[in-house]
């Protein structure tokens, strides 16, 4: 009889141990009220239960069910509220971004130095809404992509503030080209200039300016700086379309000749550019006593803003 009692006890102990695990597998969550009410036989008929005194187990069960339903209702309400809040936040964000884009588009279309012509109600003649190249103050910001020959790639960045006559302008050219010794990799070159400008010819349809300042070259093995001068010209071919030309010279301690010729299309304050660029660089032997020369030329295109 001892082995039978032992097996019966072990079976009862195993049933007690595995009972909570079975509930967890079916997604049920153990609560303190469940532990107080005790366990029941899982093999019993689900439609029947043991008799109990009035006001004890049945009342507890009756009290549990409304609480369980209310908890699910609260979860549904929270989900509905969260979804509504997310929809409202999305609508507000879409409205805000739409307003910003519409405002930016309107500001670009209605500003700039090259506005479309309009009819003067007093003289019945066409006049320009803007002064084009004779504005008292303008700000320029642009970026251009350089597609030079011999696998040379580059970016030209420009920022300038100009009054009717005087102004200031800074440029940065970033160039990437294959190594010249045949080794794998690329060489980076950065050219930076900062100029004061003076427009000695100012007309509504054209502007001719002289520039002077400092130019620097940051090469793989050296950094050079020297005086720089430039001459630039802008003229209206047709109200929104300009012809542009510019030439820059740095004579010492390195030689830099940079020339561009192209067209600029003004769409309000937005400006689209394109043309041809040539760049000549000579370090004049400042690195190792031997002059190293780079000749680069090719098309460019880009855009920017003029206010």
Residue 126, phi then psi, degrees to nearest 5: -75, 130
**Can you tell me whether residue 221 is helix, strand or coil?**
coil
For the chain, helix, strand, coil in percent to 5 are: 30, 45, 25
- Residue 96 belongs to a domain: no
- Residue 285 belongs to a domain: yes
- Residue 79 belongs to a domain: no
For residue 281, the model assigns a pLDDT of 92
The pLDDT mean for the chain works out to: 75
Question: Using CB atoms within 10 A of its CB, is residue 195 exposed (0-12), middle (13-18) or buried (19+)?
Answer: buried
When pLDDT is averaged across residues 239-264 and rounded to a whole number, the result is 93
Contact 20, 30 (CB under 8 A): yes
Query: Which CATH number covers residue 137?
Result: 2.40.128.100
- DSSP class of residue 253 equals S
For residue 143, the model assigns a pLDDT of 93
User: What are the helix (H) ranges across the chain?
Assistant: 2-25, 32-37, 57-110
When pLDDT is averaged across residues 83-92 and rounded to a whole number, the result is 72
Q: How far apart are CA 202 and CA 163, in angstroms?
A: 11
- DSSP class of residue 284 equals T
Quickly state the pLDDT bin for 225 (edges 50, 70, 90): very high
Q: How many domains does the chain have?
A: 1
Residue 235 has pLDDT above 70, yes or no: yes
- Residue 108 belongs to a domain: no
Q: How far apart are CA 243 and CA 264, in angstroms?
A: 6
- DSSP class of residue 247 equals E
Which of 16-20, 116-120, 146-150, 242-246 has the highest mean predicted lDDT (pLDDT)?
A: 242-246
Residue-wise pLDDT tens digits, 9-56: 555 545 544 444 444 333 334 445 544 444 444 444 545 445 454 444
Q: Cα(first)–Cα(last) distance of the chain, in Å?
A: 104
29-33, 96-100, 135-139, 173-177: least confidently modelled range = 29-33
When pLDDT is averaged across residues 115-137 and rounded to a whole number, the result is 67
In this structure, the strands spanning 293-306 and 137-148 are antiparallel
- Residue 160 belongs to a domain: yes
Residue-wise pLDDT tens digits, 142-163: 999 988 877 788 999 999 999 9
- Residue 167 belongs to a domain: yes
156-160, 202-206, 227-231, 266-270: least confidently modelled range = 266-270
When pLDDT is averaged across residues 160-177 and rounded to a whole number, the result is 93
According to DSSP, the residues that pair with 211 across neighbouring strands are 197, 230
Contact 274, 118 (CB under 8 A): no
Percentage of the chain beyond pLDDT 90 is: 34
More confident residue, 134 or 243: 243
For residue 32, the model assigns a pLDDT of 53
User: Token pair 């009035």 is at which residue?
Assistant: 54
- Residue 170 belongs to a domain: yes
Give residue 261's domain range: 132-306
Q: Which of 7, 12, 1, 300 is nearest to 158 (CA)?
A: 300
Q: Which of 263, 272, 271, 229 is nearest to 245 (CA)?
A: 263
- Residue 56 belongs to a domain: no
Q: How far apart are CA 305 and CA 307, in angstroms?
A: 7
């Amino acid at each position: 009889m001892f082995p039978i009692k032992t097996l019966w006890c072990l079976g009862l102990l195993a049933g007690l141990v595995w009972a909570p695990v079975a509930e967890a597998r079916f997604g049920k969550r153990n609560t303190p009220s469940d532990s107080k009410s005790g366990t029941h036989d899982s093999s019993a008929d689900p439609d029947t239960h043991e008799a109990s005194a009035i006001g004890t187990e049945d009342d507890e069960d009756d009290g549990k069910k409304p609480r369980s339903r209310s908890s699910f209702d609260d979860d549904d309400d929270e989900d509905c509220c969260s979804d509504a809040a997310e929809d409202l936040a999305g609508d507000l964000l879409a409205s805000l971004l739409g307003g910003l884009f519409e405002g930016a588009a309107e500001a670009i279309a209605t500003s700039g130095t090259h506005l479309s012509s309009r009819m003067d109600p007093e003289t019945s003649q066409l006049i320009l809404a803007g002064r084009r190249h004779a504005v008292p103050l303008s700000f320029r910001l642009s970026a251009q992509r350089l597609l030079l020959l011999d696998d040379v790639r580059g970016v030209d960045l420009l920022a300038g503030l100009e009054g009717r006559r005087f102004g200031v302008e800074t440029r940065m050219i970033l160039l990437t080209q294959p190594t010249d010794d045949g080794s794998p990799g690329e060489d980076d070159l950065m050219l930076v200039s900062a100029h004061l400008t003076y427009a000695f010819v100012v007309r509504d349809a054209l502007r001719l300016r002289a520039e002077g300042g400092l130019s620097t070259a940051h090469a793989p093995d050296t950094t050079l700086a020297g005086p720089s001068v430039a001459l630039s010209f802008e003229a209206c071919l047709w109200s929104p379309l300009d012809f542009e030309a510019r030439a820059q010279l740095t004579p010492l301690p390195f030689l830099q000749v940079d020339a561009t010729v192209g067209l600029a299309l003004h769409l309000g304050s937005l400006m689209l550019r394109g043309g041809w660029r040539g760049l000549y660089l000579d370090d004049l032997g400042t690195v190792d006593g031997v002059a190293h020369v780079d000749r680069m030329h090719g098309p460019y295109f880009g855009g920017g803003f003029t206010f």
